[in-house]
Amino acid sequence: MPLVRIGSKLVYYAHVPKCAGSAVEHYLRQNFGPIAFCDTKFLSHPPATKWTKSSPQHVDAMSMGRLFPPKFIDARFATVRHPVKRLVSVYRFQRDVEKTIPEATSFAAWIDTLAEARQADPYIYDNHVRPMTEIVPRGARTFKLEQGLGPLVDWLQKLAGEDYQLPGEIEPRNVLSDRLEKDGLTSKAVRPAKAVREKIYKLYRQDFDRFGYKIDL
């Protein structure tokens, strides 16, 4: 739940994992200064020193609501993504970078384990597979990655006012292919079959409905 000061306003970015969160956070820091409630080293801390079940930037909306009164924050926004594409990105990241998914486990086989895994631990993978609707608070302004991040820049510019002249582009950060290329590796492509997309639709129906996505890519 990164918090940033934009002029006199306290702004909350609901960081949905694998939805350009690192790029947006970097843009906020570069243009508005330090952000709060963001710990990019969370996973490297010894378990006994962690005070939350997920990194603070991946907080769920219910927990956020318990921590902050409704009118304490002036504006809220989030970036969202087609649920199938988001899960493909999570799978590839966990398989190829974090190594939490065995390389031999197919995307379809992994999807079959998600419902039970989420039930056993709602915070699994640092909230990477938590439904977007459980992270994005009601009333937050949402921006779809499929439409580019230009509309987000425009919204931030209006929020900031004439005191700021923001760069017109949010540059990509933490791109999987770039990270693997540095290590001389490549990532196997994932092309979910219709049957797999249908399973994802059943699991994440609320995300499809709330954010206006269709089952087809």
Please list, residue by residue across 114-146, b when 16 or more beta carbons sit within 10 angstroms of its beta carbon and e when fewer do: beeebeeeebbbbbbbbbbbbbbbeebebbbbe
Query: Residue 194 belongs to what H/E stretch?
Result: helix 194-203
Domain range annotation of the chain = 3-211
Written as tens digits, the pLDDT of the chain (217 aa) is 689 999 899 999 999 999 998 899 999 999 999 998 877 777 677 877 777 777 777 788 888 888 888 789 999 999 999 999 999 999 998 998 889 999 899 999 999 999 999 999 998 998 999 999 999 999 999 999 999 999 999 999 999 998 889 999 998 877 666 666 666 666 777 889 999 999 999 999 999 999 999 988 6
Q: Which residue, 36, 32, 40, 44, is CA-closest to 6?
A: 32
pTM of the model: 0.89
Q: Which residue, 202, 153, 159, 142, is CA-closest to 19?
A: 142
Rounded Cα–Cα distance for residues 217 and 205 (Å): 15
Which backbone phi and psi does 9 adopt, to 5 degrees? Answer: -100, 140
Pairing type for strands 141-144 and 3-6 reads unpaired
